[in-house]
Amino acid sequence: MNEGPGLVCPAGYTAIHLDAVGSTNAEAFERAKQGAASGLWIVARRQTAGRGRRGRVWASEPGNLYSSLMLRDPVEEVRLGELPLVVALAVHDAVAAALPPFARADLAIKWPNDILYSGAKLCGILIEATATPEGRVAVVGIGINCAHHPDVTLYNATDLAKVGYPTDPQAMFTLLSAAMARRLDEWRTGSFALLREAWLSRARGVGEAITVRLPTREITGIFLGLDGEGRLLLRHEGAVEAISAGDVFFGHS
The CATH number that applies at residue 82 is: 3.30.930.10
In terms of pTM, does the model score above 0.85?
A: yes
Average pLDDT score over residue span 222-226: 96
Handedness of CA 225, 226, 232, 234 (dihedral sign): negative
Q: What is the mean pLDDT of the chain?
A: 90
Q: Which of 160, 179, 201 is the last residue of a domain?
A: 201
pLDDT value, residue 175: 97
Residues 122 and 244 in one domain: no
On whether both 140 and 30 belong to a single domain, the answer is yes
Chain centroid to CA 197 = 17
19 with 57, same domain?
yes
CA-based torsion, 32, 34, 40, 42: positive or negative: negative
Q: Which of 164, 181, 201 is the last residue of a domain?
A: 201
| Domain co-membership, 173 together with 147 | yes
- Quickly list H helices, 102-234: 169-189, 192-201
Residues 177 and 244 in one domain: no
- The residue count for the chain: 253
Distance linking the first and last C-alpha atoms of the chain: 47
Q: What is the number of domains present in the chain?
A: 2
Backbone angles phi, psi at 192, to 5 degrees: -65, -30
Residue that is last in its domain, among 161, 176, 201? 201
Q: Is the pLDDT of residue 58 over 80?
A: no
Q: Are 2 and 9 in contact (CB under 8 A)?
A: yes
Q: Estimate the crossing angle of helix 83-98 against helix 192-201, to 10 degrees.
A: 50
Q: Is 42 in the same domain as 84?
A: yes
Q: Evaluate the omega torsion of the peptide bond into residue 5 and state whether it is cis, within 30 degrees of 0.
A: no
Asked if residue 60 and residue 23 are part of one domain, the reply reads: yes
Domain that holds residue 9: 2-201
Q: How far apart are CA 90 and CA 225, in angstroms?
A: 19
Phi and psi angles of residue 124, each rounded to the nearest 5 degrees, phi first: -120, 130
Q: What are the backbone dihedrals phi and psi of residue 20, each rounded to the nearest 5 degrees, phi first?
A: -145, 145
CATH number for the domain including 225?
Answer: 2.30.30.100
Confidence of residue 1 (pLDDT cuts 50, 70, 90): very low
Cα separation of 152 and 77, whole Å?
A: 34
Q: Which residue has the higher pLDDT, 153 or 104?
A: 104
Same domain, 162 and 49: yes
pLDDT at site 152:
67
Same domain for 145 and 234:
no
The span from the CA of 169 to the CA of 18, in Å, is: 13
181/220 same-domain check = no
What share of the chain in percent tops pLDDT 90?
A: 75
**Domain shared by 156 and 241, yes or no:** no
Q: What is the pLDDT of residue 50?
A: 61
Pairing of strands 114-117, 239-243: unpaired
CA-nearest of 224, 196, 176 to 79 is 196
**Mean local confidence (pLDDT), 229-246:** 93
Give the separation between CA 21 and CA 141, rounded to whole angstroms.
13
Same domain, 127 and 185: yes
Banded model confidence at residue 54, pLDDT cuts 50, 70, 90: very low
What is the rounded distance in angstroms from the CA atom of residue 170 to the CA atom of residue 123?
Answer: 15
What is the pLDDT averaged over residues 181-200? 94
